[in-house]
């Protein structure tokens, strides 16, 4: 589920950027005014009809993502303009796989509100559908034994929505940020005295959080597992080294569960080989940095 306050901030920022106003004009109901629509100078000058209707159309094949975001965008914009609401009726489910040319959302309401929000709505849906489509492509290629996860490499401000799109596409989220999971990387190891020391310190300080530790060698991987890591990140290893590291981690962990994750130098073409190493999961920024799909609004 999307965290509504986070989504609202992203939506407000997108609308504010396009309308040339403060995001507070979108978020604070006390500032609602029809004058906000005057910021759209083209529609102010040319639009003469009060109401319009149309459809959001996927111009590219892929996974549909962002339908609730579009509906929320027009809800916030209508409120900010003190306008009658825009009706958004989905024609497919969030996460549906569609062909190019498929209509996915019917929209109807005040013409100037719809035109003022059109670009922001489509931009968000383009980005999210692109991420969801790439997430699905990777997870399907990885097969049932290898879990594909995203990373923190997201467009600034779009992390929560980007991770929603990854889930919609069928892949899995890694940590949300610096606050919800311990991920010990090479610079942490260098500043703490070693792999085992870093893992033990993290386990002591945050006993209730998942602790993951990066390892560049098989020896480091085994050390991290013995020290109590929940996940060992096997960084920039070829398939043969990775397979050996997976065995070493499981032997070092003993009866305790310890997942393995491949990261660094991960490409789509490597997925069959990675699955064969028996690593538990693979993380890649390719999901959240995916190319947007083409989405349009066609008015009647």
Of 79, 153, 200, 203, catalytic: 153
How many CB atoms are closer than 10 A to CB 262?
Answer: 25
The pLDDT, as a whole number, for residue 6 is: 78
Is 214 among the catalytic positions? Answer: yes
Which pTM does this prediction carry? Answer: 0.95
Of 59, 185, 205, 256, catalytic: 185
Query: Environment class of residue 19 by beta-carbon count within 10 Å: exposed (0-12), middle (13-18) or buried (19+)?
Result: buried
Of 6, 106, 119, 200, catalytic: 119
Is 119 among the catalytic positions? Answer: yes
Digit-coded pLDDT (tens) for 65-107: 999 999 999 999 999 999 999 999 999 999 999 999 999 999 9
Backbone angles phi, psi at 177, to 5 degrees: -170, -160
Please report, in tens digits, the pLDDT of each residue of the chain (300 residues total).
566 667 999 999 999 999 999 999 999 999 999 999 999 999 999 999 999 999 999 999 999 999 999 999 999 999 999 999 999 999 999 999 999 999 999 999 999 999 999 999 999 999 999 999 999 999 999 999 999 999 999 999 999 999 999 999 999 999 999 999 999 999 999 999 899 999 999 999 999 999 999 999 999 999 999 999 999 999 999 999 999 999 999 999 999 999 999 999 999 999 999 999 999 999 999 999 999 999 999 999
The pLDDT, as a whole number, for residue 1 is: 56
Residue 56: HSE in the Cβ half-sphere, 13 Å Cα cutoff: 35
How many CB atoms are closer than 10 A to CB 187?
Answer: 9
Q: Structural domains in the chain?
A: 4-132+291-299 (3.90.1170.20), 141-283 (3.20.20.70)
């Amino acid at each position: 589920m999307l965290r509504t306050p986070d989504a609202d901030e992203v939506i407000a920022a997108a609308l504010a950027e396009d309308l040339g106003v403060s995001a507070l004009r979108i978020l604070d109901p006390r500032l609602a005014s029809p004058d906000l629509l005057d910021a759209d100078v083209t529609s102010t000058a040319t639009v003469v009809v009060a109401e319009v209707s149309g459809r959001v159309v996927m111009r590219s094949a892929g996974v549909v993502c962002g339908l609730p975001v579009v509906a929320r965008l027009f809800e916030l914009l209508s409120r900010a303009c003190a306008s009658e609401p825009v009706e958004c009726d989905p024609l497919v489910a969030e996460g549906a796989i569609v062909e190019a040319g498929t209509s996915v959302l019917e929209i109807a309401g005040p013409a100037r509100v719809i035109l003022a929000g059109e670009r922001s709505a489509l931009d968000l849906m383009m980005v999210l559908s692109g991420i969801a489509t790439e997430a699905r492509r990777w997870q399907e290629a990885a097969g049932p034994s290898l879990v594909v996860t995203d990373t923190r490499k997201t467009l600034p401000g779009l992390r929560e929505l980007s991770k929603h799109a990854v889930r919609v596409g069928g892949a899995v989220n890694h940590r949300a940020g610096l606050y919800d999971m311990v991920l010990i990387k090479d610079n942490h190891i260098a500043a703490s005295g070693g792999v085992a020391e870093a893992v033990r310190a993290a386990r002591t300080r945050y006993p209730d959080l998942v602790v993951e530790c990066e390892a560049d060698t098989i020896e480091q991987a085994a050390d991290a597992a013995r020290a109590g890591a929940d996940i060992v990140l096997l960084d920039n290893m070829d398939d043969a080294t990775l397979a050996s590291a997976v065995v070493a981690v499981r032997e070092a962990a003993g009866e305790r569960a310890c997942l393995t994750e491949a990261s660094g130098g991960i490409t789509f073409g490597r997925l069959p080989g990675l699955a064969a190493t028996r690593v538990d999961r693979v993380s890649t920024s390719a999901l959240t940095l995916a190319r947007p799909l083409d989405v349009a609004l066609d008015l009647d």
